[in-house]
């Protein structure tokens, strides 16, 4: 099973996940990395789930059009939209505080 190491606010959270896991879906059903992973739409429209991939990026598929649209130059710095990723290999990622601002827990208005 893939091992996921998730960094947030100076803390490290680690767990194994099933093959073909989507971390936003998993957090949505209150499993790791819940409650630490911040996300919004789950559809690649809000970028709240953006994380920097620290290890394992080579196993991920190329960014899709939603990631290209939402992340722009952040793609070059190793960021991905976690809601667009299904994990098959070990992965280490960081979600920065800056990725979470934009409204005290309110869901974004996805257009």
Residue 33 or 42: the one with the smaller Cβ distance to ligand FES is: 42
Among 49, 85, 87, 91, binds ligand FES (CB under 6 A): 49
- Give the binding range for ligand FES (CB under 6 A) out of 6-14, 26-34, 47-55, 89-97: 47-55
Is position 71 an interface residue for ligand FES (rule: CB under 6 A)?
no
Taken as a whole, the chain contains a residue count of 111
Among 83, 87, 93, 99, binds ligand FES (CB under 6 A): 83
Q: DSSP for 9-69?
A: TTEEEEEE--TTB-HHHHHHTT-TTTTT---S-SSSSS-TTEEEEEE-GGGSPPP-HHHHH
């Amino acid at each position: 099973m893939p091992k996921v190491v998730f960094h947030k606010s100076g803390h490290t959270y680690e767990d194994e996940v099933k093959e073909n896991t989507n971390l936003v879906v998993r957090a949505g059903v209150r499993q790791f990395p819940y409650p630490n992973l911040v996300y919004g739409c789950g559809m690649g429209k809000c970028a709240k789930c953006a994380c920097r991939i620290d290890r394992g990026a080579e196993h991920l598929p190329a960014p899709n059009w939603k990631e290209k649209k939402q992340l722009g130059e952040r793609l070059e710095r190793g960021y991905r939209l976690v809601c667009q990723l299904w994990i098959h290999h070990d992965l280490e990622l960081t979600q920065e505080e800056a990725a979470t601002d934009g409204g005290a827990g309110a869901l974004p208005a996805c257009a």
